[in-house]
């Protein structure tokens, strides 16, 4: 999986203030919606929140991969966000989250959804990658780090 296929410089943000899970998912929805048009923001947010109702997407070790399928989406899209201060995300290990990769997938791409999630989980299991993200404080550098890792 090549992150440059699903990320754009506009969908990477460093040190965002994240008061809570709901607020950061709203911000993430806005970042991804740039690629889909303004009307999609609410649909993305609603789909992300519905997915979180099924169970937290907080993997542990400060990482979350919120994900959902959206009808208006034609291609797999992502947003990479680091937070100024870690927030409670109901993660499996109980630790707060400071890195999020938001994944939006076309509604009918079930296999691609699973494959992309697996690739992201493997990538974010790399402690060196996560530490590099945590020490990057410029959104453009965050994007370049992600696509070149």
Known catalytic residues are: 67
- Three-state DSSP at 21 gives helix
Provide the CB-side half-sphere exposure for 114 (13 A, CA).
3
Tokens standing for residue 126? 């790399």
Q: Tell me the C-alpha distance between 7 and 147, whole Å.
A: 8
Q: How far is CA 121 from the centre of its chain?
A: 11
């Amino acid at each position: 999986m090549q992150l440059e296929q699903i990320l754009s410089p506009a969908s990477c943000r460093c040190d965002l203030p994240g008061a809570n899970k709901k607020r950061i998912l709203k911000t993430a929805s806005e970042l991804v919606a740039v690629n889909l048009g303004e009307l999609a923001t609410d649909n993305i947010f609603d789909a992300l929140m519905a997915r979180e109702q099924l169970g937290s997407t907080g993997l542990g070790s400060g990482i979350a991969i919120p994900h959902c399928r959206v009808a208006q989406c034609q291609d797999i899209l992502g947003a990479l966000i680091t937070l100024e201060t870690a927030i409670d995300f109901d993660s499996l290990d109980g630790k707060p989250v400071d890195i999020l990769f938001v994944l939006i997938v076309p509604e009918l791409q079930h296999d691609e959804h699973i494959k992309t999630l697996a690739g992201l989980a493997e990538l974010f299991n790399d402690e060196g990658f996560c530490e590099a993200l945590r020490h990057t404080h410029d959104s453009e550098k965050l994007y370049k780090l992600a696509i070149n890792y």
